[in-house]
Every structure is written in structure tokens, then in C-alpha cells.
Amino acid sequence: MNTHYTVELYNPHAHIFKVKLEVNKPNPTGQILSLPAWIPGSYMIRDFAKNILNLEARSDNRLLSIEKIDKSTWKTEAVDTSITYEYEVYAWDLSVRSAHFDMTHAFFNGTSLCLMPHGLEDNVCNLTIQPPADIKYAEWKVATSLEKTKIDDQGFGIYQAENYDDLIDHPVEIGTHSEFDFTVEDTNHKMAFTGIHRADERRLIQDISKICQTHCTMFGELPKINEYLFLTMVTGDGYGGLEHRSSTSLMCSRNDLPLASEPQEPNEKYRNFLGLCSHEYFHTWNIKRIKPEIFLPYDLTTESYTRQLWAFEGITSYYDELALVRSKVISVDSYLELIGQTITRVLRGKGRFNQSIAESSFEAWTKFYKQDESAPNTIVSYYAKGALLALCLDLTIRKETNNTKSLDDVMRFLWLNYGKESIGVPEGKIEEITSEVTGINLDNFFADYLYGVKELPLEELLSDFGVKLNLRATTSVDDKGGKPAADKSSTPSVSIGARLIADNIGVKITQVFSNESAELAGLSAGDIIIAINDLQVNKSTLDKIINSYSENDELIIHAFRRDELKAFNLKLKQAEQTTCYLSIVTETKEQKEWLFL
């Protein structure tokens, strides 16, 4: 028995999809329907049902009564004949997580459009996508990794999913996107780009196919899929990605894409895009198939807690960059710059002393995904510190086993024994498996660095692999680390310990760092600094003025808190050495085996 959805591109100007849902054998005591409160891969309650409008149900041409029983759930009058539901969905969220529809394109995830009939979750789902009625959209076509049942040349027609869980794991793009294909492991891979761009297709194929192949080689195989699809929305300044079982939705800036003139070594922006593709593709194994036990199946009605996101996002973040150098798409120097930037991000936040990455995983729903101005002081990222934990784990395993074992062996074990077998990974199991696979006792390692807040042994481990970890002060708000200071004389010796942005009347504080000068003086996020020692300041003069003073000098800072002018006595502290860059000291056999050189 199938559940059948029909999606109509109803009103692009009002951003409205119309959906028809046919349920053949409804629950005779009253069919219940709901929409997920969150989408797998993005751990925040989003209540997609708030965008459902005008839900109606009919049976034998009779309008049935529907009662809304909570924010995401409806109950239909009891009938024993098939029910046809019709409803509208408001779609104006330009993100990879929900739905967006206007005269330029239509994009949706099933979690935004497809109401789930309770008790029928395991039914095969058909999805019919109707071509747009307006001749203006005659060129539009469909891109999705859903299994095709009966479609026309432009992809309109009937698709099929094994069940509801499968249905919501294939985003759909409809519009005038450009497409190209390449093959990895005998499987077709497609990239579709929506939005105005001039990307060099040949270069993208050359680089991305190498990255995909590197991941497949590491895991030993590509999971069984018909086709893999990279759906990319190109915008002015977008960035983001969401993983799916045989596709990914990406957002990037058009400046991230390579032009025909792109040099051999990717620039920072293109490298970011390659890292994003690499990250989401690695998820094809790690989180889409190797997944926490609690996600099998997903409970999409409420928060789903796990302490394992460090492994699914942190390890993925480690490998997304490692694969760039292993596939020779970027140079070793470029890779070391990336690690240096990640170390910088982690060192700049003191939240790492308040929250372990196991806690950061568990609290993702209310902390990592709902960050405010206190984030650098209160939380740690299970992505960034998780990636560094994975780096330390890999280097520890390599060091202790004379490079006969590595994190690669652990990931292959997880794929073969959990992911490929559709067995969920229990909490704490990855730590046990890592010790079993490598023969090393890692109890203290995980107690200190995963469940505890001890500083990671980065300097010592990198040094064992011929790499020196260097620290310096931050030179500007744009200084992401990863490189030595461009001009040594510009490195400040003092700092006020706050993040600042330009404001119409002065300089606005966006964050103050724990126990540094601004906080000790009483300044807070939101304050607008207008003068230092009675002289007016703006964003372009402030750094220069502060740098003209020395440690322990006292400044009188005038700032507005809301609309009240306040004076603050600030004693300057030495600038913290939290910006990191790495350099190769010696080339070693172990280093070459780690980076595939």
C-alpha cells in the first residue's frame, strides 16, 4: 500500500506550494498526521509545521473535520475509506534545511512539505512533482536523488521512496540549474548549480572527483546508491551544507567557485567550497549510515540527545580537510594553514574549559545551535575541537603503533560492522572500538579530552610528526590564523579582550572574553565605545590607538550602554597568544604516511 504525495508549484510570488496527500487505508479510529519538528543533520527544533496552511481532508467527496492536537500534529475524523488531504506550504527560507520558492526556483526538503500519516510510516511513498503551469517556467527541470518511477525529459512526474524516512532524505531542486556529471566507483555523480555563476566545470570535476575517490578508498567502498547528487545554491554570501544518504544540499557564495583562470593551488574561498563538498560526502558513511543508536529510527518530534556528535561532526571535519591534501587537491602548506585556523578558533574561546565536547554534543540543541554573545566563554564547538580531538587521536594511534594502525582503521571498522549492517552505535561504543581496533588503551585519552576539558596535546603530537605549532597575538578581526603575521611590527602587544564591529557613532562590542580587560572594566556586549581618553574613536582608529599603549596602562573609555553614557576604567593586559600557525620542521616517514605524500 502506497502513500502518494503530489506537489504543485502553486504560487511563486506568494511562495506557496500546494500538496495533495492520498492515504488509502487510514486509521479507522481517526488518522493522525504530523510534520517533523527538526531535520536530521541540523540539531535544532524548527517546528516546520508552522508553515502549513489551509489543511483540508476529503473522503468520498465529503469534507472531514480535522482537529489540531499540538503544534505539529492533526487528527482527522474517523472514516474507513481512503482520505485525500490538500494543504499549502509557505516556503520562504533560503537555507538547506527547509523550503524556498519564488520565480527563480523551487527547493524543498520532505520535512517541510510532506505530512506523515501516523502508523503508515513504512509505506512506500510516491511523490509526483507537477510541471509549473505558467509558460514562463517552461524551461524548469528537476534535480533530486529520489528514485525515478515515471518522469519526463525535464524530470517532472513520479518518484518513489522506500518509506517516509527515505522520502525526507532527498531534497528536491526545481529550476534552471546548470548540471554536469562525473563517475566515481562506477557510480554517476551529479552537480547541480542554482543561481548566477561562472564556475569552471572542468576544474570542479577534476578536484571533486579526486576528493570523492579518496573517501571511497579510505572506507573501501561507496555505499550502494544509484547516483550521488551535489545540489548547490549559489548566492552572494551564503555558506552551509546538509548531508543526505545519496545527496547533499549546499549553499555557497559565487566567489567560492573556481573560474577558468583559477591557479593550481586553490585560493582560500575555493578551498572552503572543496572542504564543504568533502565534508558532506564523508557524511555518506559517517552519520547517514554509521549513526548513533538513538537515531535509528529518528524521533523527529522532539530533541534526540547523544554525546557522540563529536565523532560524527568532529571526525568528519578532520577528514574533510585531510582528504584535500591526501587527494593532492591542496598542498601540505595549505593543509597546515587549515589546521592552524581550526586551532586558532578553539584557542580563542575559553568555553573549552567550561564544556567538554561530549557535553557540547549533548547540549547542541540549546547551546551550539542557539549561540549568543557568551558563546566564546561558555561553550566549545564539537566541530572544531572535535576535529582537533580526531587529529590527536589519529596521531596518537599512529605514534603508539609505529604507523601500523590509524583512525582510518577505526572508521573502516565502524563502516563494515555498524554502517553497512544498519546497526546503530551505542553511546560510548566508539571509544571502546577505537581501543579494540588499535590495541591501545585510550581510557585516559577519552577521559581527559572527550569527557574532560584538559587541553589537547597538539604541540607534542604535531612535533612527533615533524610539525611545529607556533602561537602569536591576533592582528585584526579578519585574522583567522594559520599563517605568520604578515607584518611582525603590526602584531599588537596589548588587547582590550573584546570583539568589535563598526557602528554609526563609534565601535560596537559584540563579545567580551572571560577575564580579559574589557570584562574586568565592566564593558559588555552591545556597548558602543565612542571615546578613549577623551578622544573620539571609530573602527579604523581604535586598534591603532590601543596599540600605542602598553601593558598595565589605564584607559578611560566612554561608551553608550543602551542610551546611557558611561565611563569605564580599563587596565590593558598583554594580548593573548591564541593565533596559531604550523610549520614543517622535518619531513618524516610518519608524516608522509599520515598525509599520503
Binding site for Zn ion (CB under 5 A): 313
Q: Are 170 and 145 in contact (CB under 8 A)?
A: yes
Is the Cβ of residue 66 or residue 309 nearer to Zn ion in the bound state?
309
Q: Which CB atom, from 27 or from 308, has the smaller least distance to Zn ion?
A: 308
Ramachandran class of 286: left when φ > 0, alpha when ψ lies in -120 to 50, beta otherwise: beta
Q: CB of residue 370 vs Zn ion: minimum separation in angstroms? A: 18
By beta-carbon proximity to Zn ion, the closer residue of 240 and 484 is 240
User: Shortest gap between Cβ of 47 and Zn ion (angstroms)?
Assistant: 22
- Tell the smallest beta-carbon distance from residue 396 to Zn ion (Å): 23
Question: Least distance from C-beta 319 to Zn ion, angstroms?
Answer: 11
Residue nearest to Zn ion (CB): 313
CB of 361: closest distance to Zn ion in angstroms?
A: 12
Phi, psi of 135 (to 5 degrees): -60, -25
Q: First-to-last CA distance in the chain?
A: 54
Complex with Zn ion: residue 284 or 517, whichever CB lies closer:
284
Cα–Cα distances (Å) from 188 to 54, 149, 597, in that order, read 40, 18, 28
Spatial separation of the C-alpha atoms in residues 256 and 207, rounded to whole Å:
14
> Which of 244, 348 has the CB closer to Zn ion?
244
Q: 128-141: b or e for each residue (b if 16 or more CB lie within 10 Å)?
A: bbebbeeeebeebb
Three-state helix/strand/coil letters over 85-143: EEEEEECECCCCCCEEECCCEEEECHHHHCCEECCCCCCEEEEEECCCCCHHHCCCEEE
Considering beta carbons, is residue 169 or 313 the nearer one to Zn ion?
A: 313
**Closest Cα partner for 383 from 451, 454, 285, 312?**
312
* Cβ-based neighbour number of residue 208 at 10 Å: 22
In the complex, least distance from residue 333 CB atom to Zn ion, rounded to whole angstroms? 25
Which of 318, 465 has the CB closer to Zn ion?
318
CA distance 555 to 567: 10
| Distance in Å, CB of 286 to Zn ion, minimum | 9
CB of 375 to Zn ion, least distance (A): 19
Question: Which secondary-structure segment (H or E) carries 269?
Answer: helix 268-282
Helix (H/G/I), strand (E/B), else coil: 226: coil
The residue among 318 and 446 lying less far from Zn ion, judged by its C-beta, is 318
Rounded CA-CA distance 2/162 in Å is 10
